[in-house]
């Protein structure tokens, strides 16, 4: 008898129960950073579909706080741009967490060719291969670029945190 299938079904039922009664399941705390990076963009996409936006947004330093129709269009356009930057920041975080970078792909492909499945515990082998391939510098540069996008999105997320409602 295959007990792993039973265990998988049991866990899925447990997690569904947790989501119903507390709004989240245990897997969230296994990697809160991943959970937020994966879900906040989905929530922001839904928010973007709504027809509301903050009453005072300052595109290019100009305060638009009137309720005139022409100002509304400008405000809504700017709010959509702001939400898109927040989404981009969280997507960048997701790429960092998941290691979905071109240099990581080169490393993983070569590692798999040489050694088979990646052994997360063999750091010495990883380091030697990264040095040989020259991927470590690429990874650092790619992660720095993603961190700039993440920081820009988080700055906006923090600035407009209390405006994330409909």
Q: Given a cut of 70, is residue 10 above it in pLDDT?
A: yes
CA dihedral 141, 142, 145, 151 (to 10 degrees): -110
How confident is residue 25, by pLDDT bands cut at 50, 70 and 90? Answer: very high
Phi, psi of 56 (to 5 degrees): -130, 100
For residue 121, count other CB atoms closer than 10 A to its CB: 8
pLDDT at 120: 77
How confident is residue 147, by pLDDT bands cut at 50, 70 and 90? Answer: very high
pLDDT at 89: 98
Report d(CA 157, CA 25) in Å as an integer.
25
Q: Given a cut of 80, is residue 39 above it in pLDDT?
A: yes
**Encoded tokens for 100:** 């979905």
Q: Identify the sign of the CA torsion 147, 154, 24, 44.
A: negative
Which range among 26-35, 67-76, 123-132 has the greatest average pLDDT?
26-35
pLDDT at 62: 47
For residue 155, count other CB atoms closer than 10 A to its CB: 13
Alpha carbon of residue 44 to chain centroid: 12
Q: Given a cut of 70, is residue 67 above it in pLDDT?
A: no
Q: Identify each DSSP E strand in 80-148 by its residue range.
A: none
The 10s digit of each residue's pLDDT in 90-108 is 999 999 999 999 999 998 8
């Amino acid at each position: 008898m295959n007990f792993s299938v039973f265990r998988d079904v049991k866990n899925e039922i447990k997690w569904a129960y947790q989501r119903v009664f507390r709004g989240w399941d245990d897997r969230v705390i296994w990697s809160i950073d991943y959970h937020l990076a994966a879900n906040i963009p989905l929530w922001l996409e839904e928010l973007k579909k709504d027809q509301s936006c903050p009453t005072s947004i300052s595109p290019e330093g100009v305060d638009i706080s009137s309720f005139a129709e022409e100002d509304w269009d400008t405000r809504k356009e700017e709010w959509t741009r702001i939400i898109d930057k927040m989404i981009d920041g969280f997507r960048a975080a997701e790429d960092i967490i998941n290691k979905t970078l071109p240099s990581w792909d080169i490393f993983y492909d070569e590692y798999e060719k040489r050694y088979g499945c990646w052994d997360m515990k063999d750091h010495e082998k990883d380091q030697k291969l990264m040095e040989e391939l020259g991927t470590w510098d690429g990874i650092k540069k790619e992660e720095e670029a993603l961190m700039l996008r993440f920081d820009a999105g988080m700055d906006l997320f923090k600035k407009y945190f209390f405006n994330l409602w409909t």
